[in-house]
Amino acid sequence: MGCAGDPVVATPNLDSLAAKGVLATDVYTPSPVCVPARMSMLSGRYPHEIDTWTNSHIMDSAVPTLAHAMGAAGYNPVLAGRMHFLGPDQLHGYSDRIIGDHSSLVPGTGDASFNFLEDIRESGPGGSGYQVIDEDTTAVAVEWLNRFALRKRASREEEPFNLTVGYILPHSPYIARKEDYDRYAGRVKPPTVRLPFSDLDHPFDKWWREHVNLVSPPEEDLMKARAAYWALVERLDTNIGLILEALRANGLDENTIIVYSTDHGDMVGERELWMKRCFYEPSVKVPAIISWPEVLPQGVQCDRVMNVTDLNATILSALGAPQLPGSHGRNAIPMLRGEDDNWDDVAISEYAIQEGSIQRMVRKNNWKFIYHHEEPAQLFDLSADPNELNDRAQDSDCAEIVSELSALVFADGWDPDHVRQRLKEKKRDTDLIRKWAENCPPEDRYRWDMDPSWTYVE
């Protein structure tokens, strides 16, 4: 975002939102993968507490969510667009879903390919079905706001409203419409950190690069993909601007808390990695803006360490809603107002995949510790080493901080052996569901049908 210091991207609407609120610069996802991140955001619990580690896992409908708590406070929470729910429960507490998701709702049938090199080679100017659904989502959300405001004026009652708008952009495939792409081609700089495969020293980094076919991505394709990603960010900003304008036009912006964030980042070629699924900063850190003009300071940057689950707790506190049972989220409003000096600068994130890699990250103050089960841990001092190039896990001077952060990895009962066993059991269950879906495809009531022809490279 421009407000976060990027000199090239055009994000006037997000910049304006940040100018009217707080830009939080050190917010971490509870998992650098779509489904577990979103389910953790909604529930306030870590993936191991809701049995949701991969994009094939279903969160139990009995787990209370942000939407349930908002409903309990008298709101009718409405969802428009992306949320990546899997399974028969496509609401998880939302009272209505006015436009659905584009991907399969059956666990295991919509798994993404792990050939990232193909995604990069097929980047550049063209068409993206993801952009089409985002534009549809925007149109439906704007119409909903217009209709709500009309009813409110007609009834002259102070009815509260709640709307969650879920977008997909920016996301691979890295394809942007030509007019957007052309604004960034040749202007986006190469990645800051270049790590050829031969220079990698951590076993997971080597395995991951081989697993996703990213040993040596072509330079030309890399730069096309980066230009397209920047263009997709601008397109996202344009859609968000239409939502913000609908709020203003209907007089709904003065007493409304607006929270912007996402489920994970994207490496966009840094360390020659793409997309997410790792604990390096571009993947695990997410943007966050919290705007509430009547309550929070405006045009302020907050550098305290937070988790996306804290955004959950902050929203519920703002709405006077009950906090979620078992949630790790913390109400950040006092801290953002400068009234709480006791904020603990800690964030935890988890990652586990079927192939066996089980990891947990702890960010505390300036330190980031990454625990790799049965592989070497990593430790980075982000204040001195923001690009995470100097692993100090084996440094004798860091033995105390390694011990402290290692204890935090396991402090809440996280058990990597239990995670491994549950992954095996979940795979067994998902394999059967996949076979069932092939023969007895269930009705996707909330499915938004995306035409494959909408995605192409010119």
60 is in which domain, residue-wise?
2-346
DSSP state letters, 108-138: TSSPPP--HHHHHHT-EEEE-HHHHHHHHHH
| Amino acid found at 273 | L
In a domain, 368, yes or no: no
Identify whether the C-beta of residue 95 lies closer than 8 Å to the C-beta of residue 71: yes
Nearest of 287, 235, 225, 262 to residue 6 by alpha carbon:
287
What is the SS3 string spanning 238-253? HHHHHHHHHHHHCCCC
Nearest of 162, 23, 146 to residue 14 by alpha carbon:
23
In a domain, 438, yes or no: no
> Quick count: other Cβ atoms within 10 Å of Cβ 216?
12
Within 13 Å and on the Cβ side, how many CA atoms surround 404? 11
> Quick count: other Cβ atoms within 10 Å of Cβ 217?
20
Per-residue pLDDT of the chain (458 residues; tens, 9 = 90+): 999 999 999 999 999 999 999 999 999 999 999 999 999 999 999 999 999 999 889 999 999 999 999 999 999 999 999 999 999 899 999 999 999 998 877 776 655 566 777 888 889 999 999 999 999 999 999 999 999 999 988 887 788 999 999 999 999 889 999 999 999 999 999 999 888 777 878 888 888 888 887 777 788 989 999 999 999 999 999 999 999 999 999 999 888 999 999 999 999 989 888 888 899 999 999 999 999 988 999 999 999 999 999 999 999 999 999 999 999 999 999 999 999 889 999 999 999 986 678 999 999 999 999 999 999 999 999 999 999 999 999 999 999 999 999 999 999 999 999 999 999 999 999 889 989 988 888 888 888 888 888 988 98
In a domain, 235, yes or no: yes
Predicted TM-score (pTM) of the model is: 0.94
In a domain, 453, yes or no: no
CATH number for position 189: 3.40.720.10
In a domain, 400, yes or no: no
Pairing mode of beta strands 124-127, 78-81:
unpaired
In a domain, 77, yes or no: yes
In a domain, 202, yes or no: yes
Burial class (CB in 10 A: 0-12, 13-18, 19+), 278: buried
In a domain, 228, yes or no: yes
Distance CA 80, CA 133 (A): 11
Distance CA 191, CA 180 (A): 20
Provide the number of structural domains found in the chain.
1
Distance CA 14, CA 19 (A): 9
